Amino acid sequence: MSVVGIDIGNENCVTAVVKQRGIDVLLNEESKRETPAVVCFGEKQRFLGSAASASAMMHPKSTVSQVKRLIGRKFTEPEVQHDLRMLPFETSEGPDGGILIHLKYLGGTHIFTPVQITAMLFAHLRDIIEKNLEMPISDCVIGIPSYFTDLQRRLYLDAATVAGLKPLRLMHDCTATALSYGIYKTDFSNSGPTYVAFVDIGHCDTQVSIVSFEAGHMTIRSHTFDRSLGGRDFDEVLFSHFAAQFKEQYRIDVYSNVKACIRLRAACEKLKKVLSANAEAPLNIECLMDEKDVKGFIKREEFEMLASGLLERIRVPCSQALADAGLTAKEIHSVELVGSGSRIPAIARVLASLFKVEPRRTLNASECVARGCALQCAMLSPIFRVREYEVQDIIPFTIGFLSDEGPIGTGSNGILFPKGQPIPSILFPKGQPIPSAKVLTLRRSSLFHLEALYADPSELPAGAYPKISCFTIGPFQGSRSEKARVKVKVELDLHGIVSVVSARVMEEHGNDSKMDPMDTDCVTASVSSEAVADGFQESMQSKSSHATGDGRHNKAASRLEIPISENIYGGMTKAELSEAKEKEVQLAQQDRIMEQTKDKKNALESYVYEMRNKLFNTYRSFVSDQEREGISKSLQQTEDWLYDDGDDETENAYTSKLEDLKKLVDPIESRYKDEEARAQATRDLLKC
Ligand code: ATP
Ligand code: K
Ligand code: MG
């Protein structure tokens, strides 16, 4: 069994495994440590990762990138619409409000969800890992942005499942980074926590976390982010700059041409990278469009001016991270800069002025998430022994609950809710440790519903659906009184996903509170005339998701277990999940067939060349003129066929052509071999 860490970015993917002597980042089929997060649909097969970026220009509209951020989003969200405008593939709104991606494949249009495309990336990474390790894998820890919603987390797990992976944990990117930083450091002072800020700037997003380190453990103090501020946005300012310039200078409108857009974007990304190391950089693109070659030039200062708005925006999540952690810049010991988008020198300047300390790049900027995930996987795996190290993470969202029978508690954390709407009770406030569990004690007479939702809509992207899921609890029978006391356990698991994990009817025994120790600090007991004032009973942080106080309940209580069913808004049903799995198997099978076909075609082609050569050399004295003529003709016919009708044939067609040729050549080959053997025997004889 291996322990694996996986980081799928919007641009690059990295995989890492823990080996006896440390952590290895694995190489893909091109021997690269980073694999493009791209899926491309050719006419008859998919291309994944590096192969996909290589075919992107041939199939611009069938090449999908930056798909991770589309998972679990609504098509109509303004931010999503903004993203989709920059992407060349076709999309539409799904029946559940999600995004559907339309791709040309096998002569028709196929429709995929972002989950399915992400699953293809997961499957590709699994292949890379399995080839490296020469064994099957499934257990892994996967990095996710801290801003992933409950639905995005669930769907990300689904995508991994479709690809045959078994994620032991979805881990916030910066938490993984902080783990790969903290576990090796032994020089933290004993006089109190050391606060470190991690700033991860990727292709599409920025994440900031402040972490407190003490000997043997780390605690996340805050997670903040800008979902839409990354390297891509810096490319975009260069893109619009040059698009405008070329319009004037060359009278071309790149916006009107998909391929020109893709090429100019790619050139601007390169330009940006050059500017990270050089004070100025040229831009040259041959035949960009309308058969015009374009030339441009930019100085770093000019780029920084164009990007000044973006640079300012980086301050926002940083200041928020300090505020959420209750710290001032002075208290931050160091700032670690990661994510390849952070390589722009001006970014370090902005951070230095904000945190009053020069940011450092101690960690490998592109690999730290995958490495941290691999470490976490080793810590969770029973077969690896890792130094005792505690990772305490938190959730950056406020999760509340509504009940169809009125309020279930009082705390609303000062959040203002629109008038006329039911006020949810805050079960897990922003900053709640994960995993956590809470037990609610409710008075209910029959089947009821609990709805989980984001209680503070300002924490979500504009236009996102704030409701998470609806739990139906029941049916059940109250014992004697018409309203039974029901205990409901709600869990925020290791992935940061919320669910109702158990519900049971408590038996009323008069004053038997001693039998149920959890009852002693119950805040619910007061019964008002109108409604039952229910409330939270207990908040527990559990190390393992099952290690909660409920273990104390006796057999009699377990008989009163109430059935729970959940409806995840926007989630995949079991049927959809297995359909997606089946589809992925089919697609992978088709890819395999096409790869094998290519191999067979190549084999036939090389056979033709090899035999033509041998007929005139090696086999020269073993073949009559007439035979040579006949075989040459067949070889030529096969070659012509390969360039014509046989260019795109089935695996069988190539195999049978090869067999036909072999029938002609084999007799000659065996004459040659017999002679060779005789000659060898003679040589051996003479040696004695
Ligand atoms: P995300 O975190 O948004 O999901 P990701 O993890 O794939 O994306 P990274 O690989 O961390 O993103 O960073 C990719 C970004 O870094 C791209 O925008 C790329 O252009 C940018 N980048 C890479 N090298 C440099 C450089 N030398 N200078 C500036 N930017 C760079
Ligand atoms: K990455
Ligand atoms: Mg990243």
pLDDT digits over 648-678, tens only?
A: 999 999 999 999 999 999 999 999 999 999 9
Q: What is the DSSP string of 130-145?
A: HHHHTS---EEEEEE-
Which pLDDT does position 405 carry in this prediction? 76
On whether the CB atoms of residues 204 and 80 are closer than 8 A, the answer is: no
Q: State how far the Cα of 196 lies from the Cα of 335, in Å rounded to an integer.
A: 6
Does 417 lie in the same domain as 540? yes
Q: Which of 529, 557, 572 is the last residue of a domain?
A: 572
Determine, yes or no, domain membership for 17. Answer: yes
What radius of gyration, in Å, describes the C-alpha atoms of the chain?
Answer: 31
Q: Which band of pLDDT confidence, cut at 50, 70 and 90, is reported for residue 477?
A: confident
pLDDT of residue 415: 53
Enumerate residues 6+ apart whose C-beta is below 8 A from 454.
149, 397, 398, 399, 400, 460, 466, 467, 468
The SS3 call for residue 179 is: helix
CA distances from 22 to 7, 336, 374 (A): 18, 22, 10
Distance between Cα 680 and ligand 3 center (Å)? 63
Contacts of 164 (CB under 8 A, 6+ apart): 123, 126, 138
449 and 352 in one domain? no
Half-sphere exposure at residue 36, Cβ-oriented, CA atoms within 13 angstroms: 17
In whole angstroms, what is the distance from residue 115 CA to residue 155 CA?
Answer: 6
Q: What is the pTM of this model?
A: 0.89
Q: Are 486 and 403 in contact (CB under 8 A)?
A: no
Question: Are 503 and 562 in a shared domain?
Answer: yes
- Protein residue with least CA distance to atom 18, ligand 1: 231
**Which mutation among 340, 363, 369 tests ligand 1's pocket best, with the greatest number of atoms within 8 A of CB?**
340
Distance of CA 392 to the CA centre of its chain: 22
Q: Are residues 567 and 580 both part of a single domain?
A: no
328 pLDDT higher than 70 = yes
Yes or no: say if 188 and 215 are a contact pair by the CB < 8 Å rule: yes
415: CATH: 2.60.34.10
- Residues having CB closer than 6 A to ligand 1 are 9-12, 202-205, 230-232, 269, 272-273, 276, 339-341, 343-344, 366
Strands 166-172 and 139-144 come out as: parallel
Q: Give the SS3 label for residue 548.
A: coil
Inform me whether the pLDDT recorded for 525 exceeds 50: no
- The packing angle between helices 114-133 and 150-162, to 10°, is 50
353 domain residue, yes or no = yes
Percent of the chain with pLDDT over 70: 89
Q: How far is the CA of 14 from the centre of ligand 2 (A)?
A: 6
pLDDT confidence of residue 113: 98
User: What atom of ligand 1 comes closest to residue 231's alpha carbon?
Assistant: 18
- Which residue CA neighbors atom 12 of ligand 1 most closely? 202
Atom of ligand 1 at shortest range from CA of 7: 6
CATH number at residue 180: 3.30.420.40
Domain, as residue range, for 332:
4-229+310-391
In one-letter notation, the amino acid at residue 441 is T
| Ion ligand 2 — residues with CB < 5 Å | 7, 9, 12
Of 532, 552, 572, which marks where a domain is finished?
A: 572
Encode pLDDT of 290-311 as tens digits: 999 999 999 999 999 999 999 9
Does a structural domain hold residue 375? yes
Exposed / middle / buried, residue 541 (Cβ in 10 Å: 0-12, 13-18, 19+):
middle
For 108-138, the pLDDT digits (tens) are 999 999 999 999 999 999 999 999 999 999 9
- For residue 56, how far is its CA from the centre of ligand 2 (angstroms)? 20
3-state secondary structure of 486: strand
Instruction: List the one residue out of 170, 155, 73, 194 whose CA is nearest residue 462.
Output: 73
How far is it, in rounded angstroms, from Cα 120 to Cα 118?
5
Question: Of 572, 606, 631, at which residue does a domain stop?
Answer: 572
Closest ligand by atom to 11 CA: 1
Residue 446 lies in a domain: yes
Residues 123 and 85 in one domain: yes
Going by pLDDT thresholds of 50, 70 and 90, the confidence category of residue 189 is confident
Which of 10, 11, 238, 373, when mutated, tests ligand 1's pocket best, judged by the most ligand atoms within 8 Å of its CB? 11
Pocket perturbation via mutation, ligand 1, pick of 203, 336, 371 by most ligand atoms within 8 A of CB: 203
Residue closest via CA to ligand 1's atom 2 equals 202
| Tens digits of residue pLDDT in 561-577 | 999 999 999 999 999 99
Q: Name which residue sits closest to atom 21 of ligand 1, judged by CA.
A: 341
CA of 339 to the centre of ligand 3 (A): 6
Closest ligand 1 atom to Cα of 276: 28
Q: Which residue has the higher pLDDT, 170 or 406?
A: 170
pLDDT digits (tens, 9 = 90+) for 258-272: 899 999 999 999 999
Mean residue pLDDT of the chain comes to 89
Order of strands across the sheet that contains 390-394: 332-338, 194-201, 206-214, 217-226, 390-394, 433-434
d(CA 198, CA 184): 16
From the CA of 360, how far away is ligand 1's center (Å)?
Answer: 17
Tens-digit pLDDT profile for residues 591-620 = 999 999 999 999 999 999 999 999 999 999
263 domain residue, yes or no: no
- Residue 113 tokens, joined: 């969800």
For residue 421, being part of any structural domain is answered with yes
Reported confidence tier of residue 526, pLDDT bands at 50, 70, 90: very low
- 318 & 427 share domain: no
Q: Do 357 and 403 fall into the same domain?
A: no
Q: Is the pLDDT of residue 36 over 50?
A: yes
Shared domain for 533 and 634, answered yes or no, is no
Please give the C-alpha separations between residue 651 and each of 596, 597, 647, in angstroms, as whole numbers: 7, 4, 11
Work out whether strand 280-289 and strand 139-144 pair parallel, antiparallel, or are unpaired. unpaired
C-beta separation of 391 from 217 below 8 A = yes
Is the pLDDT at 498 greater than 50? The verdict is yes
Q: Which residue has the tokens 């790969």?
A: 180
Q: How many domains does the chain have?
A: 3
Interface TM-score (ipTM) > 0.90 = yes
Mean pLDDT of 475-500: 87
